[in-house]
Structure 1
Amino acid sequence: MLKIGITGGIGTGKSFVSKIFKSMGVPFYDADKEAKDIMTKSDIVRRGLIDAFGSETYREDGALNRKWLADKVFKDPEKLQVLNGIVHPVVIQSAVDWAEKQKGAYSLKEAALLYESGSYQSLDYTILVAAPLELRIKRVMKRDNVSEEEVLDRMSRQMSEEEKKGYADFIVVNDEIAPLLPQVLAIHHKLMEK
């Protein structure tokens, strides 16, 4: 079975495109959702985060103190790198273990930081969902009820779309002009042939 990754910058619509693949019966792993679960449930990750950031990382009820941790790491690249160094290896291994249990021609792993985390290296092919910058900004402003400055700040912490294109085996253009379904079906058929 082929292991396929799908990614895209904030506001590109990677989750929407992933749902199209999922609706066709493709086994689907949401790395960002799984990472949130792992940060709460994995003793190894829990200990690593507390050692790195302190006991305030988790609330008294055991839940991850997300806002506190986000405030601590997202403005400090070194702390973000520490966080990713603790969480990413466990999530990558979780995805590998999950993929090995799936049936079918291929499985799909959605991850926002597919290239940045290095997890693309454990995959056979990757799909990049791309969209024009102005459209991405509008989508995120509407979805998250945030300002353009906040969206641009988030984008500045991600790998550029141009850089991601250099890694991608397939690109889906989600510009609200080119129909998505024919693009997804074309990739699906190519993957089924492989």
Structure 2
Amino acid sequence: MLTEIYNFLFYQPIFKFLDGTFFWLKDFGFAVFLLTIILRVLLFPLNLKMQKEQKKMEMISEKLREIQKEYKDNKEEMTKKMMEILKKEKINPLSSYLLVLIQFPIFIAIYQSLKEFSTKSLPLFLGIVDLTKPNLSLATLAGIFQYLQVKSNQSFQIMISLFLSIFLIVAFSQLPAALSLYLFFMTLFNFIERLIFLKFLKNGNKIERN
């Protein structure tokens, strides 16, 4: 049952879109590019909400650290005080994971679709890149943009992001370049969206309190 739902909602639409777009454009790289744009547009409201929640968390991080210090010997009271602040600021700590959870089946569907296409004879992307073979350059670019998305002064988060970026580079450098191309486009759009969001905040716009 779950497999049928997954195929109907994710795999079949994505595969058919890539197949149809490739038929008209004759360039699989551009088909991946268009798919990425459509997915970014569909996921933009969730991504924007996640960005806002993250910014709110940054704004109250100092208060949370003070509570942790003050109630370090009373975990129950610490949790209670922290939840009070989150409730007051209307922050849902789980909302930041929503986008990740939604993208998980999407990524699996894209992976399956691209892997199936990678077994076929595809024209070179831009006349240069063979999307059926691994490409270290594309995997590295995706890893770099993944790392650049982190805007934190906390060394732990920086190290986690660095580890994730290195992992992506190593993993995707072993996979067909079509997968690395999608990851590159996705991380690039994420990076651009974050820059726009930060610029929006610097121009004096307040974060909406939902």
TM-score scaled by length of structure 2: 0.27
More relative contact order, 1 or 2 (CA 8 Å, 6+ apart):
1
Higher fraction of helix: 2
Higher fraction of strand: 1
